[in-house]
Structure 1
Amino acid sequence: MLGIPLHSFYLIVLVLILLICGSLIRYRLEQSNPEKDYTELRERIQSWWVMVGLLFAALLFSQTLAIVFFGFLSFLALKEFLSIVPTRQTDRRVIFWAYLSIPIQYYWVSIGWYGMFIIFIPVYIFLLLPIRMVLLGETKGFIRSAGILHWATMLTVFAFSHIAYLLVLPVKNEMAGYIGPVLFLLFMTQFNDVCQYIWGKKLGRHRIIPKVSPNKTWEGFLGGVATITLVAAITGPLLTPLLWWQGMLAGMLISVSGFFGDLVISSVKRDLQIKDTGNLIPGHGGILDRMDSLIFTAPLFFHFLYYSHY
C-alpha cells in the first residue's frame, strides 16, 4: 500500500472505484443513446479524474507539497474571485497585499503556529488593506472596495487554509495518518453535494430559497443531512480521532454548512448575473464553483475537531 495508512488507503480506493463506475456508466450511456449529447457529463468525469489525481498525488507525496498545493488553490480562487467582482483601478496596488497574504498564511500553517494562523488575516491583513487604500488617496468607492477585498481574502485564503492546517495537527489516529482528517472533510463535503442533489431530484417539492437557488429543496437538504450524518458516524472514527457520535455531529455540521456555502457563492453569481465563476475546470466551471461548500465546511469542521481533541 506504499506506506499509506490503512483506513486512508481504503477511502482512496473507494473514490477510485466510484470514478471508474462513473466512467463506465457514462460510456454505457453514450453507447445506448448515440443521439444524445453527453459532452458535459464526459467533461465533468474527466475533470474529476484530474482533480482527484492531483489531490491524491499531493497528499501522498509529502506534507509540504500538500500544503503548497492548497496554497496554490487559494491563489487560483482569489484570482478568480477578483476577476468576476469589479474593483477600482487604484486597488491594484492593494490587491498585491491580498495575494501576499497567501504564502505568509500558509507559512504559519507549515510551522504549526496556530496563534498567528488564526489571527493573521482577520486582524493584521484586515487592518493593513484599508491602510494601504487610504494611502492611495482615493475615497470614492472606498467602503465597497474594502468589503470586497476583505471578504475575498477571508473566503479564499483564510477559510480554505484550514484544510491545510488539518495536515499539521498531531496524528491521533494511526490507521488514518495525517491525511485522514483532510480526506474525511473533502469526501464528506463532496458527497454531501451529491446526496443533496440526488435527494432533491428524487423527492424535491418544496423550494427553500428559490430566488437564490431554485433547485434547492427541503427534501434534498434534509435527505442530504440525514445521509451525511449517518455516513460520517461510520467513517469519522476510521479517518479522524472522532468518536462515532462526534462523527455524527461533524457530518451534520458539514452538511448544513456546505449547503450554505453553496448558496453564498450562488448569491454572488446571481448578483453578478453569471452562470459560473470561471471556466478553469471543464464541465464544472470555475474553481469557486467546486470550492463553494468547502469555504464554509473547512473552518467549521477544523474548529470542531480542534476543540474536541486538541
Structure 2
Amino acid sequence: MIYGLWENSLYVQTVLLLLGTLAVLGLLTYSLSNKGPLLNSAWASLKSWIFVIPFVFAILALDNPWPLVFLTALSIQSAKTFFQMVGAYHRSWFVWTTYIFIAIEGYAIHNPDLLPYYDLTPMIFLGAITLIPLLRNSALHMIQYMGLSMICFSFFGWSLLHLARFTQMDGGILILIYLVMLTEVSENICWAVSRTFGKVKLFGKISNKVTLEGFLIALVFTLVLAWGMRHLLPVRSEQYWLAAGLIAAVFGRLGDLILSVIRRDIGIKNTGIFIFGRDDILARVDKLIFVGPLYYYVFIFLQGN
C-alpha cells in the first residue's frame, strides 16, 4: 500500500529526477575528485547529499503533521547550533525559552485557530526574555543574551518556519522542495564560479564566496531553473516562478552573508554538527531565513490578486 505523497505522481517524478541528477553528478565528481580541491570538496558534499536526501523525501512524503514536525525539529536544532556558536548555550533560561516558543509556533501553524497569532510571537518572545533577568535577579551580560536570543528566534524560529507554513497548503510540499532546490543551486553555482574565476569580490571582508561574476551567473541559472521546474508550483504563471528565482538568488545570498557577519565577528568559521559533508546545519539553512518568509508573503499576495 502506498501512503502520503508517494501517491502523487508529480512528487515521485521530482524525487526520482533529483536523486538521478545527484547520482550522475556524484559519479562525475567522484571520477574527477583527485583533480583538485574544488572537485574533491564537491564530491564530499554530493556524497552526503546522496545519503541524506532519501530520508528527507521520505519524511516530506508522510501525511500531515509529520513534515511540519520535521521542520520544527530542524528549526530547534538550528537554534541550538546558533547558541553553541555564539557561546550562549550555557544560558539555559534563554535557550529553553527559545525552544519552547519555536515549538509553540509549530503548533500554531498546525492549528488554524492559532495561526493568526503566529506573527505576534516575536513580540511575545521579546517580552518573555526581558523577564528572565528579573526572574534570575541578575543584570550581568543580560543585554548580550537577550540580543542573541532575539536574533536566534527571529532567524531560526519565526523566519525559518515560514517554510513550514507551506506544508499546510495544497501542493505546499512541492513549493517547499522548489524553493530549497533553487536556493541550493544558486548557492553552489555562485560558490563554484567565485572560486574558479571570480574577480570582483562584493563583500571581501565578510565572505570570499560571493563575487560579482558568481552572483550574476548564479542569478541567470537560478531563473532558468525556476522556469524549467515551474510545474512544481500550483500556478505556473511567470509572476510565481520569476519571484521565486529572484528571491532565491538574491535573498539566499543575503542570508548566507548575514550569518557570515556573525561568524566573522566572533572569529568562528564552522561550528556544530557536521552534515551534508560541508559546514554545520546553519550553513544549510542560513540561505532560507529570508527566502522562506519573503516568498510566502509574495505567494499569498499573488494568490489574492
- TM-score (norm: length of structure 2): 0.89
Taking structure 1 as reference, are residues 95 and 126 closer, same or farther at Cα in structure 2, changes over 3 Å only?
same
2:269 corresponds, among 267, 275, 287, to 275
1:10 corresponds, among 10, 13, 16, to 13
Taking structure 1 as reference, are residues 103 and 36 closer, same or farther at Cα in structure 2, changes over 3 Å only?
closer
Q: Which residue of 1 aligns with 2:259?
A: 265
**C-alpha deviations, 1:126-162, integer Å up to 9, x for none?**
2111112232121122221111001111111111111
1:233 corresponds, among 227, 230, 253, to 227
Structure 1 unaligned blocks of 5 or more:
172-176
Q: Which residue of 2 aligns with 1:73?
A: 74
Q: Report how many aligned residue pairs link the two structures.
A: 300
Taking structure 1 as reference, are residues 13 and 148 closer, same or farther at Cα in structure 2, changes over 3 Å only?
same
Q: Distance in 2 between matches of 1:92 and 1:126?
A: 16
Counterpart residue type for residue 15 of structure 2: I
**C-alpha deviations, 1:188-243, integer Å up to 9, x for none?**
11111122223334542111010001231111111112221232134235423251
Q: Distance in 2 between matches of 1:86 and 1:127?
A: 23
- Alignment partner of 1:167 is 2:161: no
Q: Which residue of 1 aligns with 2:210?
A: 216
Q: Percent identity among equivalent residues?
A: 23
- Over aligned residue pairs, what C-alpha RMSD do you find? 2.5
Determine if contact 2:59/2:66 at 8 Å carries over to the other structure: yes
**C-alpha deviations, 1:38-61, integer Å up to 9, x for none?**
875554223212331221011112
Give the deviation of 1:272 after TM superposition.
1.8
Taking structure 1 as reference, are residues 124 and 6 closer, same or farther at Cα in structure 2, changes over 3 Å only?
same
Q: Distance in 1 between matches of 2:280 and 2:38?
A: 22
Q: Distance in 2 between matches of 1:251 and 1:130?
A: 39
1:71-220 superposed matches below 5 A:
71-87=72-88, 91-112=91-112, 113-120=114-121, 122-169=122-169, 171=170, 177-220=171-214
Q: Distance in 2 between matches of 1:182 and 1:215?
A: 25
Q: Distance in 2 between matches of 1:100 and 1:235?
A: 37
Give the deviation of 1:182 after TM superposition.
0.8
Q: Distance in 2 between matches of 1:238 and 1:258?
A: 20
Give the deviation of 1:35 after TM superposition.
10
Determine if contact 1:88/1:145 at 8 Å carries over to the other structure: no
Moved more, 234-243 or 45-54: 234-243
Determine if contact 1:163/1:182 at 8 Å carries over to the other structure: yes
Give the deviation of 1:104 after TM superposition.
0.9
Taking structure 1 as reference, are residues 88 and 238 closer, same or farther at Cα in structure 2, changes over 3 Å only?
closer
Determine if contact 1:7/1:239 at 8 Å carries over to the other structure: no
Taking structure 1 as reference, are residues 273 and 15 closer, same or farther at Cα in structure 2, changes over 3 Å only?
same
Determine if contact 2:89/2:95 at 8 Å carries over to the other structure: no
Q: Distance in 1 between matches of 2:210 and 2:41?
A: 21
Determine if contact 1:160/1:295 at 8 Å carries over to the other structure: yes
Counterpart residue type for residue 74 of structure 1: S
1:13-52 superposed matches below 5 A:
13-29=16-32, 33=34, 40-52=41-53
Counterpart residue type for residue 86 of structure 1: G
Q: Give the SS at the match of 1:179.
A: helix
Taking structure 1 as reference, are residues 116 and 37 closer, same or farther at Cα in structure 2, changes over 3 Å only?
closer
Determine if contact 1:229/1:249 at 8 Å carries over to the other structure: no
Determine if contact 2:198/2:212 at 8 Å carries over to the other structure: yes
Q: Give the SS at the match of 1:215.
A: coil
Q: Distance in 1 between matches of 2:21 and 2:153?
A: 34
Taking structure 1 as reference, are residues 156 and 196 closer, same or farther at Cα in structure 2, changes over 3 Å only?
same
Taking structure 1 as reference, are residues 36 and 136 closer, same or farther at Cα in structure 2, changes over 3 Å only?
closer
Q: Give the SS at the match of 2:153.
A: helix
Q: Which residue of 2 aligns with 1:57?
A: 58
